[in-house]
Structure 1
Amino acid sequence: MAGGDRAVIERALEYVERTPPRELAKKSIVLSVPTGYGKSKSAPVFAEALYERGLSFNLVHVLPLRAIVEDLYTCTYLKSLEDLLGISIHCKKDPPRRTREAVRRLAEAYGDVRSAVAYQMGDYLLSEVGGKKSPLFDALQIVTTFDSYSYTFLRIPLTEIFGYRKHYAIPRARLLTSLTVLDEAHVALSEGEDLSSPLRSFLDTVLWYNAEASVPTLVASATLNAEMKKAISGATGNRAVFFELCAREENSNNRVCVRDEEYEGKALGIKWVTGVIADEAITKKVVEEAETGRETLVVLDSVRRAYEVYEELRSVLGDAVLVHGKLSRKDRRVALDKAPSAKVVVATSVIEAGVDLSKSTLVTDARSPLSVVQRTGRVCRDNEAGEGCRDGEARVYIVKSKRSDGDLLAKLEGCRTIHWRLPYDAGDAKGYSGLLEVSGVAVPDVHSLGVMRGAVSKMFIESDALNMLLKEENYSLIKHAVLTQVLVKPLERVLEEEGIPGIVENSLTVELDYLEGFADRVRRFVVVGASEHEVRPVFVREDTTNLLRPKNYAQAVIEGFNNLKAMKPVFVGFELAEGAYRDGIGLLRL
């Protein structure tokens, strides 16, 4: 029923369809519903409703992680059009009927079905199944990352980041005539290791500007606590309308509580068992679960610890899959293909979103309550009433370690009967919303907030000012970390044997400072360009001694882009020496 038939989503759609246009144009809609409720797949349905009312003409679906972009773009947007595009895409599930119909009607309204849906992020993907990359945001429905969206929103066209001139008017105009969907918004609001967050500053800027400029905006998340909702409301000037799953119907001010009896009934069919175990007991607990026929997902916040547990379990059980963010795209795809049927999957936080995986038991670190709730969405996911679980029972084991959030553990110690699918109390079980209140909220970076508001507020802004902004921020506008690509196999061999798909499959994206631990294994810096007739390196820097520093790295990228001429960039980053990367294991500091 997801994607437009859930009660909360239906109520929000009714609001969109019935509210007077002038009033609706000033509002931002917030969906606060559990994981798996269908909020992401409902985006095209909202876009169609607004299109029919003449309030938006495009859809820009913004997500925090590239993995989620790939999954949603492939298995929702492209999958909805596969017969019209003449392609075949394998996905675990088809899009909901209402979502599929909305995507198709919007595509047909666009006129050119092949250009109607696109993606935009730093990676290339899916050229073999009709994927279209759109750096100028010129498709009707675009799935993109916060990174790519932020440059265009802040008047820096993605095709001209490293060029002097910034022709921002047309791509930015496409954003302003779109429904902007800010999905998994809790990521931008979550308190991290840094005291302030440029990503939070960007989210505040978008919400403020879109409310002032009457740009339709939909915010969605399963894990918004009270302080996060307050932050969203404040950024929009108290013009956000929250639609939430609640124990009873209620409508007050800008909060609409909806009772979904059908969803609740199915959710209550799952019996949840929650416990706390020691870090050193992880392997023993997983083996116990496996011996009773239960499949287990282990999610740990440390890549090193995840690898250690994976090796321990593989030696005992022989059947385990490892998934983390330091795998090449090929190895990640292979791991995720094996994961549904594996007895045990050991992963890091990359599994929290964008991966359609369901196991009967979860063992998880407890660094963040928000992450724990997101991870429980991978338990008994296939069937809400419990038939998809072993014995109709879902088990969650929280790991007590030095990585744990003490306040969260204290709450869990006081209440072990938690329903991880319902935000409110039901019967003897406590809803998960109380756990969310343990989490802090990121503070906007004051400097970034001022710079971003200045960039979007002026009617015109000179290219010199935008170039200065980029240089001051090391070309990374919403993250403190600078990202780079890494090729794990020799470039010449990959080009000869596999071509461009080989570059995509045998590379990964990492933080620049992460590579410092592999400085002696970095072979060279390379920019690879492609034209209709050839694919070749256009810029090579053999001496990488100082290139792991952000300013030096940015300068090398600029030089590389200047050498592209009319060619399109295929790879910009570092080639590793052979042996630095371990197939199936990843680029790990062990």
Structure 2
Amino acid sequence: MHSKEEVFNSVYNFLKDEGVSVLIAPTSYGKTLFSPSILKAAKNDEIAYGLIHVVPYRALVKDIYNSKFSKYSNEFSIGYQCMDLIDFENKTPFFLRELVVTTLDSYAWNAYGIPVAEFDKILRGVSKGHAYAINTSIYTSINVFDEAHIFTGDVENGERGIFKMVLAIVNHLIELQTPVVIESATLPSNKLAEFGKKKKIKVVYVCRTSTCGNSLQRYNYANISNVEVVVVPDKEWYESNEFLWKTQVVGNSDAISYITDNCSSKPILVIRNIVARAIETYNTVKSKCEAVLIHGLMGSKERERYANEARSIVSKGRGVVIATQVIEAGVEVDALALVTDIAPIENIAQRAGRLCRSDFRKQECREENVEVILIDSPRNEYVMYDEHSVKNALEELINILNHGKNIDWRLLEDRNGYTSFTNVMELVYSNKVRYSKGLDNIALESVLKYDTFGDDMLMLLSKLGLINSLYLVKMVVEEEYENTIAIELQRLIELEEKVEKRKNATCIDYDKKRGVKIHVLTSDNRVFEIDTYLKACEKEKTCKEDFIDMLSRVYRKIYDEARKKGTIVKDFFVVLKRNCYSNEVGAFYNVFA
């Protein structure tokens, strides 16, 4: 039997017998493509009638929907859900397709009984939301969480807040015996230990050999009381992915020099933690390198165009793709070198996982050094992550490098001269506190068990301080109403205040006391502004108590004004002034130049 077939059979049989299965396999192993095969087998065995594939990024939803799941449109009805419009006909906010890929934020809203398609109706008080339709989709489907624990770096509550929500949802599904698959290359044992504590969980662990070599992670997994580790060797795949990794820790100026010295001879992926650094890097190297920039403050049209340009650059075997975290968990880049800011070890591994993807590039990676250049960034450039996780990761990496070894960023076990990143990850998280402690965790898991209406659930999540983590504002460039940018409200206001302070200018209609003004697009494509504002939280307590009330007032005003004008709301957004947007570098930052 072929090793991948054995891996699939193990994952599916554990899912069928136990209701939950965990697949731990290296980046680029092809875990995502297991989902259509799992669905086909599950339908034949009548254990589920759909599959919902949950990922952390909108960019990843688009890539999976277009490049992977669309191939199965003759076998299944295919759909997607995220804020971006990829394909109008198959956007399915209620998950009413057989094979669906969705972002974690959309899935979380739906799982907590707040349908993303009816969010405005719930806030306006005209509907409680049709959560039963979504529950039917979720509870009759296999729910696959594909690196969904990876923190994107873009939310106020941070790593712990997002993981707690994922943890509560997964444990709820396991308790209801709803089929669940967890797929990851970067799941530390302290996080795995939080899943399904009352349920026996079988982990399919893909190694080179049946003993997994010197794998601290596999050992730690096996010591979790409710976990059974089943090793499936895939020697052939492992040997084809034994690359000549070479890791260095340098300062920012040395990293820039590396890029400009090497961009004409190899394709380089650069990932910076913050947009400002990504743009600065792009502006510094673009005169010497063929370069493309991609980040979350670019309009949807530019992101798509530059993603295509990135693939073109890589195919030529030279040039630089510069991005933020939007590219790290599954998007195909196939570069030969990585330059990245320091981050938690699992995020670095995901970034390195973008390298050496195609058969052609893998051959190169077996024959010449695959360089990973880590930039020792200041604290303000990784503030979105847990400080101890980043510092401990850097210390462990430097210690290994100083002892004459290198890091294998792909494989899950050590080999001659290389320490697997998984062993570094286990050392970093060996003393981490448990995620499931605290009243907020108890509340998150408890509310999922009760038949709670959407408005009550919104208020509860708001009191737990989680609404800001999930609520995104849609921003459009002036008169380009299809060119959208999704942004957190607090971040939008911070950027506007920076513009006012540094340049004595304005980019959006914003008043410090009142907030951000909203514009409405009607069904007959008219745009009008209304005298209502979105206001961010000034204090955590105020945020928890008043944020939902503020949103309710804004949404009611939007629809009341449209009704007075005798029209229907098609969309609403914050308008960014044209002079504050550059097709090359995105929103706001052209003003700072």
Q: Under a length normalisation based on structure 1, what TM-score does the superposition of the two structures give?
A: 0.81
Tell whether the 8 Å contact from 2:282 to 2:322 is kept in structure 1 after alignment: yes
Q: Who is 1:453 aligned against?
A: 445
Amino acid corresponding to residue 480 of structure 1 in structure 2: S
- In the TM superposition, 1:353-432 aligns within 5 A as 353-383=329-359, 386-389=362-365, 392-403=368-379, 405-416=390-401, 417-432=406-421
In the alignment, the residues of structure 1 paired with residue 526 and residue 366 of structure 2 have an alpha-carbon distance, to the nearest angstrom, of: 52
Q: Who is 1:56 aligned against?
A: 48
Q: Let me know the Cα RMSD of the aligned residues.
A: 3.1
Relative distance call for 1:315 and 1:138 in structure 2 (3 A) is: same
Q: Who is 2:251 aligned against?
A: 278
In the alignment, the residues of structure 1 paired with residue 273 and residue 556 of structure 2 have an alpha-carbon distance, to the nearest angstrom, of: 34
Residue-by-residue CA offset, 1:280-310 (whole Å, 9 max, x unaligned): 212211122135x122111111211111111
Report the alpha carbon displacement of residue 518 of structure 1 after superposing the two structures with TM: 1.5
**Which secondary structure state, in structure 2, belongs to the residue aligned with residue 220 of structure 1?**
strand
Relative distance call for 1:579 and 1:408 in structure 2 (3 A) is: same
Tell whether the 8 Å contact from 1:210 to 1:216 is kept in structure 2 after alignment: yes
Tell whether the 8 Å contact from 2:247 to 2:371 is kept in structure 1 after alignment: yes
Tell whether the 8 Å contact from 2:252 to 2:377 is kept in structure 1 after alignment: yes
In the alignment, the residues of structure 2 paired with residue 141 and residue 429 of structure 1 have an alpha-carbon distance, to the nearest angstrom, of: 39
Q: Who is 1:574 aligned against?
A: 574
In the alignment, the residues of structure 2 paired with residue 189 and residue 485 of structure 1 have an alpha-carbon distance, to the nearest angstrom, of: 18
In the alignment, the residues of structure 1 paired with residue 559 and residue 183 of structure 2 have an alpha-carbon distance, to the nearest angstrom, of: 36
Relative distance call for 1:266 and 1:384 in structure 2 (3 A) is: farther
Relative distance call for 1:322 and 1:433 in structure 2 (3 A) is: same
**Which secondary structure state, in structure 2, belongs to the residue aligned with residue 49 of structure 1?**
helix
Residue-by-residue CA offset, 1:406-462 (whole Å, 9 max, x unaligned): 32232222333222221101122221211222255783584543443333212x335
Q: Who is 2:327 aligned against?
A: 351
Residue-by-residue CA offset, 1:260-291 (whole Å, 9 max, x unaligned): 111111012x2222222212212211122135
**Which secondary structure state, in structure 1, belongs to the residue aligned with residue 209 of structure 2?**
coil
Amino acid corresponding to residue 420 of structure 1 in structure 2: W
In the alignment, the residues of structure 2 paired with residue 154 and residue 190 of structure 1 have an alpha-carbon distance, to the nearest angstrom, of: 22
Amino acid corresponding to residue 166 of structure 1 in structure 2: G
**Which secondary structure state, in structure 1, belongs to the residue aligned with residue 473 of structure 2?**
strand
**Which secondary structure state, in structure 1, belongs to the residue aligned with residue 70 of structure 2?**
helix
Alignment partner of 1:123 is 2:84:
yes
Deviates more, 1:399-408 or 1:320-329: 399-408
Amino acid corresponding to residue 487 of structure 2 in structure 1: V
Relative distance call for 1:543 and 1:380 in structure 2 (3 A) is: same
- Give the percent of matched residue pairs that are identical in Structure 1 and Structure 2: 24
Alignment partner of 1:16 is 2:9:
no
Residue-by-residue CA offset, 1:185-241 (whole Å, 9 max, x unaligned): 33269999858834223222222221221100011111111212212253xx24321
Q: Who is 1:518 aligned against?
A: 496
Tell whether the 8 Å contact from 2:153 to 2:159 is kept in structure 1 after alignment: no
In the alignment, the residues of structure 2 paired with residue 20 and residue 378 of structure 1 have an alpha-carbon distance, to the nearest angstrom, of: 29
**Which secondary structure state, in structure 1, belongs to the residue aligned with residue 21 of structure 2?**
strand
Deviates more, 1:69-78 or 1:150-159: 150-159
In the alignment, the residues of structure 2 paired with residue 170 and residue 374 of structure 1 have an alpha-carbon distance, to the nearest angstrom, of: 35
Amino acid corresponding to residue 261 of structure 1 in structure 2: K
Residue-by-residue CA offset, 1:332-384 (whole Å, 9 max, x unaligned): 11211111233111111111024211111111111221111111112222238
Report the alpha carbon displacement of residue 576 of structure 1 after superposing the two structures with TM: 1.4
- In the TM superposition, 1:95-106 aligns within 5 A as 104-105=74-75
Relative distance call for 1:461 and 1:285 in structure 2 (3 A) is: closer
Q: Who is 1:541 aligned against?
A: 530
The count of corresponding residues between Structure 1 and Structure 2 is: 524
Tell whether the 8 Å contact from 1:525 to 1:573 is kept in structure 2 after alignment: yes
Relative distance call for 1:411 and 1:455 in structure 2 (3 A) is: closer
Q: Who is 1:337 aligned against?
A: 308
Tell whether the 8 Å contact from 1:34 to 1:423 is kept in structure 2 after alignment: yes
Relative distance call for 1:8 and 1:414 in structure 2 (3 A) is: farther
In the alignment, the residues of structure 2 paired with residue 366 and residue 546 of structure 1 have an alpha-carbon distance, to the nearest angstrom, of: 33
- In the TM superposition, 1:177-326 aligns within 5 A as 177-187=140-150, 194=157, 197-234=160-197, 237-249=198-210, 254-268=228-242, 270-291=243-264, 293-317=265-289, 319-326=290-297
Report the alpha carbon displacement of residue 473 of structure 1 after superposing the two structures with TM: 6.3
Tell whether the 8 Å contact from 2:174 to 2:196 is kept in structure 1 after alignment: no
Residue-by-residue CA offset, 1:27-75 (whole Å, 9 max, x unaligned): 3111111111111121111122222111111111111111111111111
Report the alpha carbon displacement of residue 575 of structure 1 after superposing the two structures with TM: 0.7
In the alignment, the residues of structure 1 paired with residue 232 and residue 341 of structure 2 have an alpha-carbon distance, to the nearest angstrom, of: 32
Residue-by-residue CA offset, 1:57-95 (whole Å, 9 max, x unaligned): 1111111111111111111122433xxxxxxxxxxxxxx
Report the alpha carbon displacement of residue 180 of structure 1 after superposing the two structures with TM: 0.4
Amino acid corresponding to residue 136 of structure 1 in structure 2: F
Q: Who is 1:498 aligned against?
A: none
- For structure 2, the residue ranges without an aligned partner over 5 or more in a row are 212-217, 314-318, 383-389, 498-505, 510-516, 539-546
Q: Under a length normalisation based on structure 2, what TM-score does the superposition of the two structures give?
A: 0.80
Report the alpha carbon displacement of residue 563 of structure 1 after superposing the two structures with TM: 6.0
Relative distance call for 1:258 and 1:189 in structure 2 (3 A) is: farther
